[in-house]
Amino acid sequence: MKELLVLGEAELAAGTLRDIGFSKRKGWTTGSVNLHTIVRRRWLPDVTVVEVSQGGGPEFDRVAGALAAKQNTSQAAAFVLMFTSKKWAEKNKIKVLKRFPSPDRVRLYPFSSKEFKKAAVEAIEPNVEVLRAHLSKLQDPEGPRLSVLDKMQKVLDTTKDLRSDRGNLSAKLISDLYEIPTTQLARGLGKTKQTLFKTPDADSVQAGLEYFERIARLRIAMSDADFRKWLRTPNPLLDEKTPLELIFSGKEQVIADLVADMITGRPN
């Protein structure tokens, strides 16, 4: 069953849903939701429809950021259709599209009439069908599937490079991965710079370094460079703060939990 959701305030979203006319279309389930509901979902639906006000503004940035954050982890087609009553400025189109990991699945329309919205969704339906079939093959490959233990081991292996020869986590290796000064890491751990320089894998710093290891497990799904970029990018799930900001403000548990949810696919 394909899914279409209209994102917006209750009455406006419900009206847009009626305009599209997919509520009784065979093979589709539809609904209207607010931003909070989308953020809490595990992934985006096959099609998300958004009505953009003429001014755009901070609220639209929040919406676009939340959708972009979910698109890459979605197991559905995750097309995003945005409608506005005026023409998109080229620089604004580029700005919006650059936020999405799959901008080819984002449509920005300079029309918002009832007829146009209905036609746009109908036009995207074949793309949804093809992409869903492709994703289904990827999610159900031939050959043995990884067991829970296999997956756990793969996640744990992701951070083996952060441990010294004696098996302890190393502040030096973590500092290099995160690209943060050892002095900043020392302050975050409540230790002196000299302590970390002298014995970067000391037993006394293991408890604090464990958070950095858990967060670094996100590299199971991205390169080191993308991981460092993620650390420094404002995140709509964190009130537009960066993960690194929260880590060094004493909220490293929040980021570690977020990473665990991203890896396992649990809703945030």
Q: Clarify whether residues 80 and 170 are in a common domain.
A: no
Q: Which of 139, 168, 198 is the last residue of a domain?
A: 139
Domain count for the chain: 2
Q: Clarify whether residues 165 and 246 are in a common domain.
A: yes
Domain CATH for 48: 3.40.50.2300
Q: Clarify whether residues 11 and 108 are in a common domain.
A: yes
Q: Clarify whether residues 161 and 118 are in a common domain.
A: no
Instruction: Give pLDDT, residue 200.
Output: 93
CB distance 29 to 56 below 8 Å:
no
Q: How far apart are CA 7 and CA 18, in angstroms?
A: 13
Q: Clarify whether residues 55 and 154 are in a common domain.
A: no
Q: Which of 106, 139, 172 is the last residue of a domain?
A: 139
Reply yes or no on whether the pLDDT at 153 is more than 90. no
Q: Clarify whether residues 133 and 234 are in a common domain.
A: no
- Roughly what angle, to the nearest 10 degrees, separates helices 171-178 and 206-216? 40
Q: Clarify whether residues 112 and 163 are in a common domain.
A: no
* Burial class of residue 55, CB neighbours in 10 A (0-12, 13-18, 19+): exposed
Top-confidence residue, 250 or 148:
250
Q: Clarify whether residues 176 and 225 are in a common domain.
A: yes
**Which domain covers residue 164, as residue numbers?**
148-264
Q: Which of 139, 168, 191 is the last residue of a domain?
A: 139
Q: Clarify whether residues 127 and 209 are in a common domain.
A: no
Q: Clarify whether residues 118 and 176 are in a common domain.
A: no
Give me the residues paired with residue 56 across strands.
none
Q: Clarify whether residues 191 and 160 are in a common domain.
A: yes
Top-confidence residue, 47 or 24:
47
Reply yes or no on whether the pLDDT at 139 is more than 60. no
Q: How far apart are CA 176 and CA 162, in angstroms?
A: 9
Q: Is 265 left (phi over 0), alpha (psi -120 to 50) or beta?
A: left
Instruction: Give pLDDT, residue 56.
Output: 60
Q: 80: helix, coil or strand?
A: strand
Q: Clarify whether residues 135 and 153 are in a common domain.
A: no
Query: pLDDT (tens digit, 9 = 90+) per residue, 42-99?
Result: 788 999 999 886 556 677 788 888 888 888 766 688 899 998 877 888 888 888 898 8
Q: How far apart are CA 238 and CA 122, in angstroms?
A: 35
Residue 145: pLDDT band by 50, 70, 90 thresholds? Answer: low
CA 193 from centre of chain: 34
Percent of the chain exceeding pLDDT 90 equals 26
Tokens coding 149: 């233990």
Top-confidence residue, 236 or 5:
5
Instruction: Give pLDDT, residue 87.
Output: 80
CB distance 40 to 267 below 8 Å:
yes
